[in-house]
Chains A and B, each alone.
Chain A
Amino acid sequence: MPDIIQTIIGKYNYWIYITLMMIGFYAIIAKNNLVKKIIGVNIFQTAIILFYVSIGAKWGGTIPILQNVHGEGGAGAATHAIKAVDYINPLPHVLMLTAIVVSVATLGVALSLAILIYRRYKTLEEDEILARIREK
């Protein structure tokens, strides 16, 4: 029994992130409206980014900006030794910065496509669009 409690305390964060991903995934496959599908895509993207950034978190670490190194030239070593265990892992932050900006670019393109579809078929519901395509 204490083993299960230990597992839950160690990993419940991952389970909540997976629930968020599944909410976004459900919106993509089961909703009829196009704008709801686009919202689902964005929820999925941000949940994955949250999952990835949480891998780099450390208990007792501080933000990844080096302290006590102002005023040093680049060629000399810092007066305080920089220990990697004090700072949280900066590599997931870098990769996910790219992912966030790419997600807003694809949001712009997806909304442009939705406006074009509305201009052509006068509706945004997927079943009505399929019906109007079939009767052409």
Chain B
Amino acid sequence: MPRKNFHIVLVASVVIAVFPFVWLPLMSFFSDWNYPNILPGVLDVQQWKLFFSGQQDVRHSFLLSLAIATTTATLSTAVGFGLARTVSFGSRRKQGIFWSLLPVTISPVLFATILAFYFNVAGISGTVGGVMIAQLLIAIPFSIIYFTAFWTPRVMHMEQLAATLGSTPYQTFTQVVLPYARPFLLVCFFQTFIISWFEYGLTSVIGAGQVQTLTLKVYLYVQEASPSLAALAATLLILPPALLLWFNRQYVFKPLGV
């Protein structure tokens, strides 16, 4: 391929990748976007003013999504880390991985339809707690699969070596395993946060319309034909992952040699 075309493809790829992060924030300032104007005559800051002053549902949804995603990521990383050790070093490793893989690969909305009956019976449908438990049912299996790559015989040998040298199980865990696992824990937290932050199908079914996270708001505003509000909610959804990706780039891009 000629060198000029070679660069055009790369530049086009970067433009396509970046464009949503330019267009969606810009669109959140549109008050009326009449056809065939490419851009509206004036940009309106009203939606953002309402957001910052707290007089808008989007702010509540943003904080709710943040709380749910942070809690889900923290719990699933901690629980998954421990369970993955049991799965990895246990005699039923294959079964453990298989049953962990299932909730991760099933369509979340269909997984929710399977769970809905039990959540109704337990009386936790339509509650924030119910949504968090449902999300944990996906995030914990994901963590287990993720951490099976960490709990290798090498780690087991490190634990055994520490024990041989007189360390207690608590000391081995806090002074040997945890420092070694730190990058794994950070990436897992990042990924489970993203799983929860992006979740739509499961939350819409188990939340029963009562738990309005940001992803649900985007869909709601699209249905209400309020594109600028949908763009505002979409902007709030895409900025935190972009920032997390930037601050975690040393772990995400490290294998690429970046």
Chains A and B form a bound pair: no
